[in-house]
Amino acid sequence: MIKPHGSVELNALFVADDARRGALAVEAEALPSLLLNSAAAANAVMLGAGYFNPLTGYMNLADTLSVAEKLHTVDGLFWPVPILNLTHETGIEPGARIALRDPNVAGNPVLAIMNVEATESVSDEQIDYIAEKVFRTQNAEHPGVITFKGLGRTLLSGSIEVLNFSYFQTDFPDTFRTAVQIREEILGHGWGKVVAFQTRNPMHRAHEELCRMAMNDLNADGILVHMLLGKLKPGDIPADVRDASIRKMVDVYFPPNTVMITGYGFDMLYAGPREAVLHAVFRQNCGCTHLIVGRDHAGVGDYYGGFDAQTIFDEEVPQGALELEIYRADHTAYSKKLNKVVMMRDAPDHEKDDFVLLSGTRVREMLGEGVAPPPEFSRPEVAQILMDYYQSEAS
């Protein structure tokens, strides 16, 4: 099986030993507390689940600036996006041991315990620099930039021990999986070559066929459909609706035992190319050998070029930094000429009208009106689930 990123063994920061975890939970109640923001809580969940291997906790300012500028830590570990605990709180001293409380669960239970190694102030200029490097913009309307610039100016770094997986394990018991669990399941299937498909949206015909194309082209043993379960921007479809629609599609249209449907507990960054590389890092930690990277992967609006998330792997990812490889996809659509879904680059003789193309806005309007998109665009079983959701929202 493919090795995790940066180490021989996966280093998940969740405390798996029940006795040790129970003792830490008792200790935490007597420790000073910090209520995390959602971004820092999501980072803790990802660290606990092994997705951010080999990190042992939150980054300090030197590593943050190095990762933003050069895509590696001061010690030389390849890493594309700073993993931070930024806060508005002050007065936490280096050397402190604190309980990190969950902002996304009622009662704010303890999510993790942190050994604070450094407490550093981050200037507005440094925040702007990091935003520019990670998001390629400081535009105040970019949802990732808005979130990042509002997290605070005090940076707490240090190792953590994770006690639970926030709301993800309870709200999505059939879908949320840690990197440890995914690797175990891949081993159980006996799969060697595994292709990961990232999604924050329901899967339409084009996505379905893209997975099939990648699996066939690479002669892969299976597909990992890996959906983001955390916070999205307003207007995006909730995780439970996406989950139901994806499961229906896989149940009906894929052969048994060829697709794993899973999810991970992270908030969407909308960081385009940098986030695509982060996706590659933690899919390698899951045991995947390939990641599908399509047009505007992890993008939003018009902030990134259509293929920037692919070219970053050529221009900024050093040779050998990752063992995982990417599968480069073009825009995929149903061809009326060929009566099948194709990558548009593979149909040079086609005009725009030769494809079934619908904007996201038009699809949402149709679903809200109770009108199913054409079957060439969306499977009817999937469309029904989405229509039910949009109509329930409108009522």
Handedness of CA 26, 32, 35, 36 (dihedral sign): negative
* Residue type at 91 in one-letter notation: G
Q: The tokens of 53 are what?
A: 């291997």
User: Which of the residues 11, 21, 153, 200 is marked catalytic?
Assistant: 200
Distance CA 266, CA 45 (A): 7
Mark whether 339 is an active-site residue: no
Q: How many residues are listed for the chain in this entry? A: 395
Question: CA 355 → CA 209, 210, 261, 364, 371, distances in Å?
Answer: 15, 16, 29, 19, 20
Distance CA 227, CA 182 (A): 13
Q: Which of 119, 83, 99 is nearest to 162 (CA)?
A: 99
Strands 110-115 and 154-162: antiparallel
Evaluate whether 110 touches 163 at the Cβ level (below 8 Å). yes
> Cα–Cα distance between 73 and 12 in angstroms, integer?
19
Q: How many CB atoms lie within 10 A of CB 320?
A: 7
Which among 108, 201, 212, 328 is annotated as catalytic?
A: 201
Residue 201 designated active-site:
yes
Please give the Cα distance from 13 to 43 (Å, whole number).
11
What CA–CA distance (Å, rounded) separates 43 from 332?
32
Active site residues: 200-201
